[in-house]
């Protein structure tokens, strides 16, 4: 649904056309490396797409760039805040080619909060020009792949698994809601141009070995940190053997490597999928040029040698062969999530379960990815097969993946086809969560124990429809007269907090110290009790670090804020900006770590929290909770590009820390956050 290029965006006393907003790729061109790719240079898929969406061409790795965004998506857990932020920018209408507001996370309605949020989101979409996907329509990534994904386009989503769209040949990136709100208003998305890793696929997967096993193999090789600052681009003859749902599984879970995104070429397989979805007009062939250089190196992966794999608790890269866990007895098996809820996945599972019974010690739950998938399962008999086998079929939504229902029992073993197995994410703190393929999950559900899925020989074949049955009845169009639409605001929809500008210097206490790989689930837990509070920062802030440091919120309030210390890869996982916004509300002014995950680093800056990295990792040992720290001459050091000086007033030790910011990021930090910065820029 393209917007008219002459729509007017009103920002207080200033107006500009959406056409100009799209052309204005960089507000500060002096901050962007001006290195245009030579026309004769062989290009990767990534370089081709970014060259078409960057006003200054494609930058070199490590250099800042501004990217024009064609499409955005939000979901209800992050979307309420993103739309509040969009509203605060003063824009009259979204000015992307397409923006969609999905409801897929908070569909378990145990109180008024989620229903109120849905009404708010529906009225905001109607008013400001976005499509609205109603509850029950499906998971945003599965739906966007089916209905809107477009080769060669750019997509920015307020969900870390937005890279699912890379399976269709898009540059699809997860970001904080504030970055998405700015993109909906016509601003570019700023990022450091990543290195590109070529993953060359050869061979073909064997029976009952799946795309999930492929991405688990990638995680086994490069870890949850190996993709930070990089894009994974898939190539090679093995690509053509993978369907779009299989490619999407791989790009979806590429987020667990820390990669900015993952992308496949657009080929005849892509064309066939778009034809199946009734969108052949969206097809564009797209492939890397022969001889294209990959700055991040190359990994060769022989699909024929991939075996069934499993990620053990509590990290997606704790990967071992299924054979090493043979005999492990799960109490729960969950199949679905945005990683493995496609029609192809669930037809495969239904075929393996047909005529059989789920083991009596196992609870099997299944989340179809979309209404389209569920309808197809119902019409070809696969749904009846699942039900007859003893599966519990839930509505098309995220569900158990985010701890929204279906929490396992005490100390239970749960096998899941999901993308994350962080401790406590399931809703049960002492549960053991293993990540597996749909084939491995179905095998365990039948046998009551983990086993190699290749041993299952009797598999019924269900007919795959020649064309998708398209129904967009749950996808609501916006009003042409947005100004006349009243926004629905329940009592849980609270105003955005205001944050002050950065002080000349800062002092405070160390509120908490953590180790490596602290996740955004650790910082700002999700689940059925907490997710409904996403539009109420005052209420949700009481749960910051609640799973790993129950007294943090009270301590932070009593001390009027302070600092948090972490190890490597701080903030890995979800794009949830509440993991930065809620700590900022509690007064956290800086996070001192060895390294950051990409999205969380950006979110900290968006809300005016200083992201500081130890120059010497040994300095990490010089800080303990309760120590009083001072950051003298803070503002002048940042402005002049000097490392930030940290003085431990408790011990007398002092050291310097890196705060690597682009010129634009520095302005945001000085302003106290992106909202302050954008309002100031627009008013000027």
Catalytic residue numbers, as ranges: 104-105, 159, 420, 574, 576
Cα 180 from Cα 358, distance rounded (Å) = 43
Strand 332-335 to 363-366 pairing: parallel
Q: Is the peptide bond before 314 cis (omega within 30 degrees of 0)?
A: yes
Listed in sequence order, the residues at least 6 apart from 260 whose beta carbon sits closer than 8 Å to its beta carbon are 173, 191, 194, 227, 229, 230, 231, 598
- Indicate the helix (H) or strand (E) that contains 157: strand 154-157
Cα 212 from Cα 484, distance rounded (Å) = 47
Cα 432 from Cα 369, distance rounded (Å) = 24
Exposure class string for 19-47: b at 16+ Cβ within 10 A, else e:
eebbebbbbeeebbeeeebeeeeebbbbb
Determine contact, residues 2/97, Cβ cutoff 8 Å: yes
Cα 145 from Cα 164, distance rounded (Å) = 8
In terms of Cα–Cα distance, which of 658, 659, 677, 675 is closest to 667?
A: 677
DSSP annotation of 159 reads S
Per DSSP, the chain holds a count of helices (H) and strands (E) of: 21, 28
Residue keyed to tokens 């024929």: 304
Number of Cβ within 10 Å of residue 462's Cβ equals: 19
The DSSP result for 422-487, as a single string, is -TTTTS-TT-EEEE--HHHHHHHHHHSS---GGG----PPPPPPSS-----TTEEPPPS-GGGPPP
Listed in sequence order, the residues at least 6 apart from 660 whose beta carbon sits closer than 8 Å to its beta carbon are 613
Determine contact, residues 17/493, Cβ cutoff 8 Å: no
Kindly state the tokens that stand for 52. Answer: 């078409």
CA 245-519-442 angle, to 5 degrees, is: 40
Kindly state the tokens that stand for 527. Answer: 């689940």
Describe the crossing of helices 674-683 and 663-671 by its angle, rounded to 10 degrees. Answer: 100
In terms of Cα–Cα distance, which of 675, 671, 606, 664 is closest to 11?
A: 675
The full 3-state SS of 122-165, as one line of letters, equals: HHHHHHHCCEEECCCCECHHHHHHHHCCCCCCEEEECCCCHHHH
DSSP annotation of 313 reads T
Determine contact, residues 215/301, Cβ cutoff 8 Å: no
Determine contact, residues 409/330, Cβ cutoff 8 Å: no
Kindly state the tokens that stand for 159. Answer: 């969900």
Cα 80 from Cα 98, distance rounded (Å) = 18
Residue keyed to tokens 């309420």: 80
Cα 675 from Cα 10, distance rounded (Å) = 16
Describe the crossing of helices 76-88 and 112-128 by its angle, rounded to 10 degrees. Answer: 50
């Amino acid at each position: 649904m393209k917007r008219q290029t002459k729509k007017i965006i009103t920002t207080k006393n200033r107006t500009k056309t959406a056409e100009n907003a799209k052309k204005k790729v960089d507000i500060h061109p002096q901050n962007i490396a001006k290195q245009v790719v030579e026309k004769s240079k062989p290009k990767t898929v990534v370089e081709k797409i970014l060259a078409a969406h960057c006003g200054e061409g494609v930058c070199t790795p490590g250099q800042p760039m501004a990217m024009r965004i064609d499409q955005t998506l939000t979901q209800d857990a992050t979307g309420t805040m993103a739309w509040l932020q969009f509203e605060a920018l003063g824009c009259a209408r979204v000015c992307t080619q397409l923006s969609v507001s999905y409801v897929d996370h908070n569909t378990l309605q145990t109180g008024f909060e989620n229903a109120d949020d849905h009404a708010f989101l529906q009225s905001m979409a109607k008013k400001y020009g976005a499509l609205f996907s109603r509850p029950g329509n499906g998971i945003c990534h599965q739906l966007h792949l089916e209905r809107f994904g477009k080769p060669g386009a750019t997509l920015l989503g307020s969900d870390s698994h937005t890279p699912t769209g890379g399976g269709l040949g898009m540059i699809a990136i997860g970001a904080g809601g504030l970055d998405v709100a700015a993109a909906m208003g016509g601003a570019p998305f700023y990022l450091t141009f990543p290195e590109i890793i070529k993953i060359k696929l050869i061979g073909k997967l064997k029976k009952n070995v799946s795309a999930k096993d492929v991405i688990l193999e990638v995680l086994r090789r490069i870890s949850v940190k190996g993709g930070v600052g990089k894009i994974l681009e898939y190539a090679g003859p093995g690509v053509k053997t993978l369907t779009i749902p299989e490619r999407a599984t791989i790009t979806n879970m590429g987020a667990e490597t820390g990669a900015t995104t993952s992308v496949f070429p657009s080929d005849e397989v892509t064309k066939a999928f778009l034809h199946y979805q009734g969108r052949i007009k969206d097809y564009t062939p797209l492939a890397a040029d022969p001889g294209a250089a990959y700055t991040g190196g190359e990994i060769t992966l022989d699909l024929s040698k991939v075996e069934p794999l499993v990620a053990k608790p509590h990290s997606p890269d704790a990967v071992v062969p299924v054979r090493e866990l043979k005999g492990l007895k799960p109490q729960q098996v969950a199949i679905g999530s945005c990683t493995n809820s496609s029609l192809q996945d669930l037809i495969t599972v239904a075929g393996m379960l047909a005529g059989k019974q789920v083991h009596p010690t196992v609870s099997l739950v299944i989340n179809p990815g979309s209404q389209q998938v569920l309808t197809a399962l119902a019409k070809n008999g696969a749904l009846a097969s699942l039900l007859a086998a003893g599966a519990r079929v839930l509505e098309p939504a995220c569900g158990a993946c985010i701890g929204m229902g279906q929490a396992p029992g005490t100390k239970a073993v749960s096998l899941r086809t999901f993308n994350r197995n962080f401790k406590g994410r399931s809703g049960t703190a002492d549960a053991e969560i293993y990540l597996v393929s749909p084939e491995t999950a179905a095998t365990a559900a039948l046998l009551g124990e983990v086993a190699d899925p290749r041993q299952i020989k009797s598999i019924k074949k269900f007919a795959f429809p020649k064309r998708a049955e398209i129904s967009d009845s749950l996808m609501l169009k916006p009003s042409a007269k947005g100004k006349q639409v009243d926004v629905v605001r329940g009592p849980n929809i609270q105003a955005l907090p205001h944050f002050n500008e950065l002080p000349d210097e800062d002092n405070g206490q160390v509120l908490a110290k953590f180790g490596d790989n602290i996740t955004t689930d650790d910082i700002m837990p999700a689940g059925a009790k907490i997710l409904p509070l996403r539009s109420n920062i005052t209420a949700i802030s009481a749960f910051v670090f609640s799973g790993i440091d129950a007294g943090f919120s009270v301590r932070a309030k009593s001390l009027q804020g302070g600092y948090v210390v972490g190890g490597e890869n701080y903030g890995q996982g979800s794009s949830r900006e509440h993991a930065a916004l809620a700590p900022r509300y509690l007064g956290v002014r800086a996070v001192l770590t060895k390294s950051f995950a990409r999205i969380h680093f950006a979110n900290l800056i968006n809300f005016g929290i200083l992201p500081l990295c130890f120059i010497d990792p040994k300095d990490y040992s010089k800080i303990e909770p309760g120590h009083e720290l001072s950051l003298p001459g803070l503002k002048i050091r940042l402005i002049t590009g000097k490392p930030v000086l940290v003085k431990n007033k408790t011990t007398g030790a002092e050291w310097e820390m890196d705060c690597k910011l682009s010129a634009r990021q520095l302005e945001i930090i000085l302003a106290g956050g992106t909202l302050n910065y954008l309002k100031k820029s627009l008013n000027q």
